[in-house]
Every structure is written in structure tokens, then in C-alpha cells.
Chains A and B, each alone.
Chain A
Amino acid sequence: QVQLQESGPGLVKPSGTLSLTCAVSGGSISISNWWSWVRQSPGKGLEWVGEIYHSGNTNYNPSLQSRVTISVDKSKNQFSLKLTSLTAADTAVYYCAREERLPACAYFDSWGQGTLVTVSS
């Protein structure tokens, strides 16, 4: 049973950079899964931020693409999120999640517990 655990600062200043890490345990990040970040704010509900494969291939939400970078560290079995030029609208609970991809569907089958990031001075 794979487990995911987010970590990072809970408070970040406006115009600053959010940096979060998701540690994967109970399984290798280097298997045939994509690994995603999803955020949830009261104003916008659940929003997919982006994803990464262990090869380093990434896909990002076009609404955030200019500000987002997702990277993977296979040696530490973890992946990370960086989001720049923060505003109050980026205040949210950030989840990391594993995506199961099947021939006819893809869904998030494992999630971290989530970490609240507040953008405020």
C-alpha cells in the first residue's frame, strides 16, 4: 500500500515561491505511474496543478503553466512542486496524489493527507 506525505512551509509571502515535497513510501516512484499535485481552495474547489512521470516528463495545468515546475528525485523516492509569483489566490490545501492509468481511464488512487499553504505577508 503506497503512502504519500507532503511537506513544506505553511506560510509564504505574496510574490514569493511555494516549495512542497511529496515523499512516497511503500512503493517505488519509478514504476508506471504518474504523480500529481492537486490543490483545493474554498473559492475554486479541486484544481489539478500538474503531474510528472519518473522519466521526468511533465504536464501542467495551462492556467498555471508559466509559474509551475514539478520535479522528481528517484534516489529519494519523492517529487516536488514549485509555484512562483504567489498571490492570495494560491492559498489552498495542496495534495500530492498517485495516478493510476488504465487503457480507458485514469484516476487518483492514493493521496497524501494534504498541507495547507497560506499566502500572506
Chain B
Amino acid sequence: DIQMTQSPSSLSASVGDRVTITCRASQNIDRYLNWYQQKPGKAPKVLIYAASTLQSGVPSRFSGSGSGTDFSLIISSLQPEDFASYYCQQSYSTPQTFGQGTKLEIK
């Protein structure tokens, strides 16, 4: 299985901050990398697919970059509704695997 490692596991930030979450794959996954946001008690919601393509309806303050093994999710200016958990996921090979998550909390 391809292992996905996110960092940091948790992060405290303030409204208006720029935040970067990273995800590393244990082997090359090209650009088969997706990012999800999950709020407590809710299902994950896709933000970014194919490493850098913004899902329809997702605010432009979210962006993604990377290819191969190293990827980043950037939130350019945190809004109150962005405090949630974030997960990366590879769809390069079966089984699809997720990172362990990054919990973004209010400072």
C-alpha cells in the first residue's frame, strides 16, 4: 500500500493567516492526489483533485500544488469556516489511501 504522511498533525492559526499543509507519498503518485475538508460529524468534502484542480464551488483561497511524492494544500487567508480537519488521499493505486489528517484549530 502507498503510505500518505501529512504534516503537521495539528495546527493553531488565526483568521487571516496563510496556512500550508503538506502530504508526502511513500512512492511516486504522479498527480493522483486529492484534498478533503471534514468538519465534526460531517462527511469529508473534496476541495482539490488532481493535485491542483479546485472543485467547483470551493473558494479560491484554497489551492494545491505538487507532483510525484510531495504535495501541499495552501489556504491563503483563513476564514472562520475553515477551521476543520484536512486529509490528503492518493488514487494512483489500489487500495486508495488517506493521510492521517491535519486538525486546524483557532489560535
Interface residues, chain A, with chain B CB atoms under 8 Å away: 45-48, 59, 61-63, 95, 97, 100, 102, 104-109, 111-114
A to B CB contacts below 8 Å, 5 in the list: A48-B97, A48-B98, A104-B31, A106-B91, A108-B36
Contacts A45-B101, A48-B95, A105-B50; A113 near B87 (Cβ below 8 A) = no
Contacts A45-B100, A104-B31, A105-B49; A63 near B95 (Cβ below 8 A) = yes
> Is A111 touching B96 in the complex (CB atoms < 8 A)?
no
> Is B50 touching A102 in the complex (CB atoms < 8 A)?
yes
Contacts A45-B101, A62-B95; A109 near B32 (Cβ below 8 A) = no
Secondary structure call for the A interface: strand
How many chain B residues have a CB neighbour from A under 8 Å? 28
Contacts A45-B100, A48-B95, A48-B96; A107 near B34 (Cβ below 8 A) = yes
B39 near A: Cβ within 8 Å? no
Within 8 A of A (CB), among B45-99: 45-46, 49-51, 53, 55, 87, 89, 91, 94-99
Cβ-closest chain A residue relative to B96:
A48
Contacts A63-B95, A105-B50, A106-B32; A114 near B87 (Cβ below 8 A) = no
- Shortest Cβ distance from A120 into chain B, in angstroms? 21
The 3 nearest A-B residue pairs measured at CB: A111-B43, A105-B50, A46-B98
| Complex Cα spacing A62 to B94, Å | 9
